[in-house]
């Protein structure tokens, strides 16, 4: 994968992913860290498969949502995140 | 008369050509130097390329990050994509490398990395700046 192949939106997503992994790194215990990393990674991978790559509006919404969650995760008293599946 | 004149000029021209030819020959012995000059580019590329220990360390991190088997071959020229890594994996590899080498990679540069060697070169560049 070269940079030339990545669209601006893909770069935004990857940058968000980096942000999440960085935030996870800043957490105190390795246990918290691993948990966050696993959740973030599964979420990104799930969306990368499920979301249609042409569905820009939805991807943009997910990006905004992600940034909001990242801001919350960055605060030091936020220890972990969890994902809840609602059927 | 006119033809005579041209003949005389052509005669004058010839020795001049001889002279340049001789000059070329006298430089011919110096041409041996070009052998040493020709070696320079290769030497330069060697010093530009990453050290083997850096490459090895990068390979290790890549293997760990992609949870490859010990037997899987990862060399300097290996492309991350060839190992089945997508762009998200590449981000993870870069993050793993940052931790292993205790450095920070600029995002725009990190996104251009596609092979082990490119990663190793970027790491050495950063380490050099840090030192």
Beta bridge partners of A55: none
Among residues of chain B, what percentage have pLDDT more than 70?
A: 63
Among residues of chain B, what percentage have pLDDT more than 90?
A: 19
The verdict on residue A83 lying in a domain is: no
**Distance between CA atoms of residues A66 and A70, nearest Å:** 6
Closest residue, chain A, to B81 (C-alpha): A1
The answer to whether A20 touches A81, Cβ cutoff 8 Å, is no
The verdict on residue A81 lying in a domain is: no
- Tell me what pLDDT residue B23 has: 45
Residue of A18, A22, A27 best to disrupt the B interface, most CBs of B under 10 A: A18
Closest residue, chain A, to B88 (C-alpha): A14
**Distance between CA atoms of residues B124 and A68, nearest Å:** 35
The verdict on residue A80 lying in a domain is: no
Q: What SS3 state is found at B108?
A: helix
pLDDT tens digit sequence for A17-52:
999 999 998 888 888 888 899 999 999 999 999 999
**Distance between CA atoms of residues B53 and B62, nearest Å:** 14
Confidence of residue A1 (pLDDT cuts 50, 70, 90): very low
- Tell me what pLDDT residue B84 has: 87
- Tell me what pLDDT residue A85 has: 65
Cα B67-B71-B76 angle, rounded to 5 deg: 80
CA distance A11 to chain B (A): 8
Q: Collect all residues of chain B within an 8 Å Cβ-Cβ radius of residue A10.
A: 87
The verdict on residue A26 lying in a domain is: yes
Contact B87 A10 (CB under 8 A): yes
What's the domain range around A26?
Answer: 8-74
CA distance B98 to chain A (A): 10
The verdict on residue A34 lying in a domain is: yes
Q: How high is the ipTM of this complex?
A: 0.83
Please report, to the nearest 10 degrees, the dihedral formed by the alpha carbons of residues B89, B90, B96, B99 taken in order.
-150
Confidence of residue B76 (pLDDT cuts 50, 70, 90): confident
Average pLDDT over residues B87-96: 92
The domain total for chain A is: 1
Instruction: Please say if the pLDDT value at position A79 is more than 80.
Output: no
CA distance A7 to chain B (A): 12
Mean pLDDT of chain B: 73
The verdict on residue A1 lying in a domain is: no
The verdict on residue A53 lying in a domain is: yes
- Tell me what pLDDT residue B72 has: 80
Instruction: Please say if the pLDDT value at position B25 is more than 70.
Output: no
- Tell me what pLDDT residue B106 has: 87
The verdict on residue A87 lying in a domain is: no
Instruction: Please say if the pLDDT value at position B75 is more than 90.
Output: no
Active-site amino acid positions of B? 86
HSE-CB at A31 with a 13 A cutoff on CA atoms is 0
């Amino acid at each position: 994968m070269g940079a030339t192949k990545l669209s601006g939106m893909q770069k935004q997503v990857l940058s968000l992913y980096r942000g999440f992994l960085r935030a996870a790194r800043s957490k105190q215990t390795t246990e918290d860290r691993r948990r966050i990393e696993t959740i973030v990674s599964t979420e990104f991978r799930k969306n990368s498969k499920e979301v249609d790559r042409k569905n820009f509006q939805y991807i943009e919404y997910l990006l905004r949502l992600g940034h909001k969650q990242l801001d919350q995760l960055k605060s030091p008293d936020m220890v972990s995140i969890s994902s809840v599946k609602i059927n | 008369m006119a033809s005579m004149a041209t003949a005389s000029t052509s005669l004058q021209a010839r020795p001049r050509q001889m002279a340049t030819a001789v000059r070329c020959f006298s430089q011919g012995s110096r041409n041996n130097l070009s052998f040493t000059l020709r070696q320079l580019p290769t030497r330069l590329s060697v010093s530009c390329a990453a050290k083997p220990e850096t490459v090895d360390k990068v390979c290790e991190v890549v293997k760990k990050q992609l949870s490859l088997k010990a037997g899987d071959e990862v060399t300097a020229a290996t492309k991350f994509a060839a190992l089945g890594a997508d762009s998200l994996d590449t981000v993870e590899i870069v993050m793993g490398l940052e931790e292993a080498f205790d450095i920070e990679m600029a995002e725009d540069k990190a996104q251009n990395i596609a092979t082990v060697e490119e990663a190793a070169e970027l790491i050495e560049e950063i380490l050099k700046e840090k030192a």
